[in-house]
Amino acid sequence: MTDFKKSVVYQIYPKSFCDSNHDGLGDLQGVIGKLDYIKELGVDYIWMTPFFVSPQNDNGYDVEDYYHIDPRYGTMEDFERLVHEADQRGIRLMLDMVFNHTSSRHEWFRKALAGDEKYKKYYIFKKGKEQGKAPTNWESKFGGSAWEYVPGMDEYYLHLFDVSQPDLNWDNEEVRLELQKVIRFWMEKGVKGFRFDVVNLVSKGEFADDEEGDGRKFYTDGPNIHRYLKELNAQSFGKDAEIVTVGEMSSTSLENCFQYAGEDSGELSMVFSFHHLKVDFMGNEKWVLVPADFMKLKKILFDWQAGMEKHNAWNAVFWCNHDQPRVVSRFGREGKYWKESAKMLATVIHGMRGTPYIYQGEEIGMTNAGFHDISQYRDVESLNHFRILQEKGLTQEDAYRILQVHSRDNGRTPMQWNADKNGGFTDGGPWIEVNGNYKDINAAQQMGDEDSIFRYYQKLVSLRKEYDIIAYGSFQALDERNPSVLAYMREYEGQKLVVVCNFYEKERNWKCPVGLWGYRCLLGNYKDRKMEVGEEATLRPYEAMILYKER
């Protein structure tokens, strides 16, 4: 049995990973062809974002059919071969389950719109207020109202995301039974992990106007969420002790996550939370330009590390995914300190208590896209907000600057495999442009360079397997008030590990509050760092070190 505490997960966004059939879209055969690359990195699981039948309004997170592979990605035979070939390399598959909503083209929703009362109850339909107003003032996370009017019914349906993604009604037991069946189907195919998309939104509370916000307080961590997750566990993935699960938790709280991912809670193995990725927001407002708040970032990371440990619960730790900009562009430094800052950011995450997730291209330091024309964007959220920002009075230039920083398309440009046309992703026309820096930043170049970001990630993955302290050690924040340095200590069975990272370009003299005599440097992002470290260290720009001491 694979121990998920010693494991590392590699996330693949299939559409942008590798195209095997020249149509400009990544596919399952493309993933199979890159399994040796993933094995060399050393990871244990591949999390695949959705490749089910979908109209692709939200790049597969609008599922039309939970049981079939979208032909643009391949066939069920391709998927079965992927499971087999991955297993031959000691890698397991984790699938993405989108259970808060379906596509409006799902058979269930089509029947609901046709007036079938059974399937109407699979979704959330409500009468509007007087004067043709929506049932509540809730806002969609993609902009605009969360309600869509259906003239033939004189009712509205709820869609917390795009209008083409109607929310399922989890209070209907028949819906929950259907979703349990979906999980069991993929378990039979050999899947050993499941990631649940925005799963803490599935239990809705009161349907009322939110006088203070956008409605999220009425549907986030809702009244029946823990009961529903326990039920899903007991009736599906909980029947196989080897299966690992992770829940994506939107705007959640530590207190709820103690239960979601508590060791004995009977819900999920671990959780994603996103508070640390809102430190360059203004409150909950993403579509603004404000500097990242480093002290807030530290506090959030440290609070979650300590809080989850105290309650014997488990984190998924990460910087990047298909919904986030590239971390080296966000919290690091492109250009002069690109390599150092990318390695530093990796060190922060991979030394922590929790299961690390690497998003495709992160391990080679891929950067934000730098798109400068709306025709280059594909993401529905970005397209909506480009319009909304201008309606609020911003110029096109200002709207572009915000998209260049925050758009989800920054994380969705094709994987940069080599210096060939389109970065080796496709010899067709890519569905979204390849980042223009692919000749300088690509996997082939880095695999041949022992000092590369790829090789550094490989070492971090290896250290977690070699040193039990990284997987099982306690967590203690260090030097919390330091305005430039992020540092923490891990302890386990007489061993100690200190991770220290300079988050800035300026050199810093740093004195560790616990003293560092007798520690040796297991890994650092500057080649000439001495193995022995004394009481003080001069930290160079973006310098990171993992220091270790046995009894």
Q: What is the 3-state secondary structure (H, E, C) of 466-516?
A: HCHHHHHCEEEEECCCCCCEEEEEEEECCEEEEEEEECCCCCEEEECCCCC
**Element containing residue 196 per DSSP (H, E):** strand 193-196
Which of residues 173 and 130 earns the better pLDDT score? Answer: 173
* Contact status, residue 328 vs residue 361, Cβ threshold 8 Å: no
Overall average pLDDT of the 141-147 stretch: 92
- Which of 248, 379, 381, 543 is labelled catalytic? 248
Q: What is the pLDDT of residues 514-539, one digit of tens each?
A: 888 888 899 999 987 654 566 778 89
pLDDT(197) > 50:
yes
CA distances from 543 to 302, 372, 427, 482 (A): 20, 32, 39, 15
What is the C-alpha separation between 513 and 50, in angstroms, rounded?
46
Overall average pLDDT of the 104-111 stretch: 98
The one-character DSSP state at 409 is G
* Contact status, residue 150 vs residue 159, Cβ threshold 8 Å: no
Overall average pLDDT of the 161-187 stretch: 98
Nearest CA to 259 among 298, 241, 296, 233? 233
Helix or strand or coil: residue 378? coil
Sign of CA dihedral 378, 380, 385, 390: positive
Which of residues 532 and 125 earns the better pLDDT score? Answer: 125
pLDDT(105) > 80:
yes
pLDDT band at 142 (very low <50, low <70, confident <90, very high): confident
Helix or strand or coil: residue 49? coil
CA-CA-CA-CA torsion for 176, 178, 182, 184, nearest 10 degrees?
Answer: 80
Answer yes or no: 107 catalytic.
Answer: no
pLDDT of residue 433: 98
- E strand segments, 83-178: 92-97, 125-126, 147-150, 155-158
pTM of the model as a whole: 0.96
Sign of CA dihedral 249, 252, 254, 258: negative
pLDDT of residue 403: 96
Answer yes or no: 139 catalytic.
Answer: no
Q: What is the pLDDT of residues 390-422, one digit of tens each?
A: 999 999 999 999 999 999 999 999 999 999 999
pLDDT of residue 531: 46
pLDDT of residue 59: 87
Q: Please, is 143 exposed, middle or buried when counting C-beta atoms within 10 Å of its C-beta (0-12, 13-18, 19+)? A: middle
pLDDT of residue 225: 98
Nearest CA to 64 among 50, 47, 78? 50
Q: Mean pLDDT score of the chain, rounded to an integer?
A: 96
pLDDT of residue 110: 98
pLDDT(130) > 70:
yes
pLDDT(386) > 80:
yes
pLDDT of residue 342: 98
* 495 φ/ψ angles, rounded to the nearest 5 degrees: -95, 150
- Which of 96, 197, 267, 280 is labelled catalytic? 197
Residue 255 CB neighbour total at 10 angstroms? 10
**Element containing residue 174 per DSSP (H, E):** helix 173-188
